[in-house]
Structure formats: C-alpha cells, structure tokens
Amino acid sequence: MSAAEPGRPLVSVVMAARNYARFLPQAVGSVRAQTMSDWELLIVDDGSTDGTPAAIRPFLSDGRVRYFRSDRLGQSRAKNLGVGLSRGRFVAFLDADDAWQPSKLHKQLALFEGRPELAVVFCRRTLIDESGHPLPVPPAPSPPPPPRGRVLAELLVRNFVCFSSAVVRRDVLSHVGRFDPDWDLAIDYDLWLRVARFYEFDFVDEELVYYRTGHGNLSRKLLDRVDTALSIMRRAEERYGVAAVVPGPRVAEAYASTYRTLGHVLRASEPARAVRCYLRALRWPAGRGLSLKGLVAALAAWLSGRRRPPTAAENTAVNR
C-alpha cells in the first residue's frame, strides 16, 4: 500500500449526517477502529435538528475527525461538500447509520496497488436492524460474486455496489464529476454509471460493512427511488454514451429487471401496483418468462386479499 504524501492522509472518509445522532457513535467508532490509521473523517452535518453536535463532540479530540455544520443542503450537496473539503488520494463513503469492520480500508486499499485503471473497490455487506443486530438470513446457496473489471453493462442492470462499502480514487472524481445535485435519491447509482463508462471496478469478497435497515430510511421512498433510477438509466443512455458501448439486449434487460424487482418487492404489500410493474416489464423481451411468472404471483396475491409490509431484505433489493 502506497504511503500518503506528507501532510495529506491516504484516504478521506466522507460522512453526511442528518438527524442520525443515535447511530453516529457506532459509525464514527468503526472508522477510528480501522487497522490502518492514515485516514481523515469529514462529517458534514446536513442541518440536523437532533443531538448530532453533541454525539460528535467526544470524537473531536481525535485530530483526524473534522466536523462541518451546514444549513440543509440535501444529500448530494452535503456529500459533495465533504469531498471538496477532503485531502486524501482516495475517498471512502460511509452513511451515518452504517458501520465498518476494522480491516475494511486496509483490505480494499491494497487492491489499488499498481492498477491506475481501477477506480472503485467495494465489498459485501451484512444487514443489521435498527438496534445493530444482524438480520436473519434464510438458508440459500451462496450468492455469486459480483462482477469485476469493466462492469458498465452489469451495473446498468443492477447496482451491486453498496454505497457505504465504496472506496474511490480521487482523480476519478475529478474526471467524471461528483454527485449530481439534480438527484436526491439513487445518487450513487448515477455516479457509478459515469465511473464505469471509463474505469474498472473490483471488490473484496467479504462482508466488511454493516448496513442498517428498517428504521424509516429511504426504503420508505421505494417508488420514488425506482422512478429516479429509471430516469438515471435513460439519461445514461442519452448523455453518458451507455448506448454506444452496452448492447441493446442488455439495456432492455436493465429496464425489465428494474420493473420485475419492484414488482417482487411490492407483491405482498401492494399487489395491484406489482401487477402494473410486471406488465411494464413485459414490454421488453429480456426475461419475459420471469416477468410472466411474477405477474401470475402478483395476481394471485391481489385476488387473495392478504397483505403484509415488505421485509427489510425485500426493501434492500432495490439498491439503486
């Protein structure tokens, strides 16, 4: 692992926080517990109205922790402010309600050595509940490893990069830009598509992130999130040159897969909406058999009259 320049940390950790005082001690503590110490943490308080300043104050005795309080900016601008104030050769992102395993940065930064074409390194995640307890995982075959290398086509179909797991080479952000303030949801998905147009991705195949869910976060904005993701996909085709490098069938697969995933998540709670999602997925030939199967299941759920809210795992399926 290359050493940082004198007076400049190797990696800057950017954390935007709004009204997450109850989670901040675990998040900040997980950064301070990293096995590599050459980091700085920039906490941008995005107009919090809870006890965020008091929650952060005990950590400010560590000179590597820097705190900036702003009026309400929104998550795109708040994260951009953190990136702009940072100094590291690499930028890592951590949401204020998530946390890291101690070896995360050390293992990820090692992959960048001698690979200037590599832009982003990510890892797997462990889902935790509001109290920080791991969520039960139903028995199932181990998921296949995510793609690595030039991943634009795969990324268009599914955002497999957990935001709180990502470490990015700083000069890549200078090239493709930071988070687009036009979007308030799925801002990382838009950024990853721009990065993947030119650079490679890699991953550490370990669960090094604790991803908190089920506490009234963006999962409640599921429909808005998917609508935003679809808008981002369309813009990626038109402005980012995706259509020139991703075959048409893969683009069709991306749209069909997005509607199928939303249909799956809504099937138990809002089956009528799920039916509409599956019908939209059928507009594309990609995975038409899966879309028909989902449509039948959604119709059965609609006719049965039984309803239940989406589970935490289902809500995280739409990771855009």
Q: Categorize the per-residue pLDDT at 241 as very low, low, confident or very high, splitting at 50, 70 and 90.
A: confident
Using a 10 angstrom Cβ sphere, with 0-12 exposed, 13-18 middle and 19 or more buried, the burial of residue 174 is exposed
The pLDDT value recorded for residue 312 is 57
Cα–Cα distance for residue pair 93/167, rounded to 1 Å: 7
In the chain, % of residues over pLDDT 90: 78
The pLDDT value recorded for residue 216 is 58
Instruction: For residue 304, tell me if it sits in a domain.
Output: yes
The pLDDT value recorded for residue 149 is 98
Instruction: For residue 6, tell me if it sits in a domain.
Output: no
> Do 127 and 176 sit in the same domain of this protein?
yes
> Do 230 and 107 sit in the same domain of this protein?
no
- pLDDT, tens digit (0-9, with 9 covering 90-100), for 291-309: 999 999 999 999 998 777 6
Give the residue numbers spanning the domain of 188.
11-215
> Do 273 and 247 sit in the same domain of this protein?
yes
Beta strands 39-46; 11-17: pairing state: parallel
Q: Categorize the per-residue pLDDT at 134 as very low, low, confident or very high, splitting at 50, 70 and 90.
A: very high
Instruction: Assign residue 62 the CATH number of its domain.
Output: 3.90.550.10
Q: Categorize the per-residue pLDDT at 317 as very low, low, confident or very high, splitting at 50, 70 and 90.
A: low
> Do 311 and 261 sit in the same domain of this protein?
yes
Instruction: For residue 21, tell me if it sits in a domain.
Output: yes
> Do 55 and 101 sit in the same domain of this protein?
yes
**Among candidate residues 44, 42, 41, the one with its CA nearest the CA of residue 70:** 44
The pLDDT value recorded for residue 139 is 74
Checking if the pLDDT of 316 tops 70, the result is no
- Top pLDDT among 316 and 235 is at 235
Q: Examine the fold and report which residue of 215, 241, 262 is the final residue of a domain before the chain moves on.
A: 215
Structural domain total, the chain: 2
Q: Is the dihedral of CA 127, 133, 137, 142 positive or negative?
A: positive
Across the range 265-285, mean pLDDT stands at 92
Checking if the pLDDT of 164 tops 50, the result is yes
Checking if the pLDDT of 59 tops 90, the result is yes
- Top pLDDT among 11 and 213 is at 11
Q: Which residue has the tokens 């199932």?
A: 140
Instruction: For residue 176, tell me if it sits in a domain.
Output: yes
Q: Categorize the per-residue pLDDT at 315 as very low, low, confident or very high, splitting at 50, 70 and 90.
A: low
Checking if the pLDDT of 2 tops 60, the result is no
**What are the structure tokens assigned to 236, written together?**
């990626």
Q: Examine the fold and report which residue of 157, 188, 215 is the final residue of a domain before the chain moves on.
A: 215
Instruction: For residue 320, tell me if it sits in a domain.
Output: no
> Do 151 and 196 sit in the same domain of this protein?
yes
> Do 58 and 143 sit in the same domain of this protein?
yes
Q: Categorize the per-residue pLDDT at 219 as very low, low, confident or very high, splitting at 50, 70 and 90.
A: very low
> Do 25 and 125 sit in the same domain of this protein?
yes
> Do 174 and 302 sit in the same domain of this protein?
no
Q: Examine the fold and report which residue of 170, 200, 215 is the final residue of a domain before the chain moves on.
A: 215
Checking if the pLDDT of 243 tops 80, the result is yes
Contacts for 283 with CB less than 8 Å, ≥ 6 apart: 255, 256
> Do 35 and 55 sit in the same domain of this protein?
yes
Across the range 243-263, mean pLDDT stands at 92
Across the range 5-9, mean pLDDT stands at 81
> Do 224 and 205 sit in the same domain of this protein?
no
The pLDDT value recorded for residue 162 is 97
Checking if the pLDDT of 313 tops 80, the result is no
DSSP conformation letters of 247-294: -HHHHHHHHHHHHHHHHHHHTTT-HHHHHHHHHHHTTSSTTHHHHHHH
Contact 96, 15 (CB under 8 A): yes
Across the range 180-207, mean pLDDT stands at 95
> Do 306 and 173 sit in the same domain of this protein?
no
The SS3 of residue 95 is: coil
Across the range 153-174, mean pLDDT stands at 96
Instruction: For residue 119, tell me if it sits in a domain.
Output: yes
Checking if the pLDDT of 187 tops 50, the result is yes
Instruction: For residue 1, tell me if it sits in a domain.
Output: no
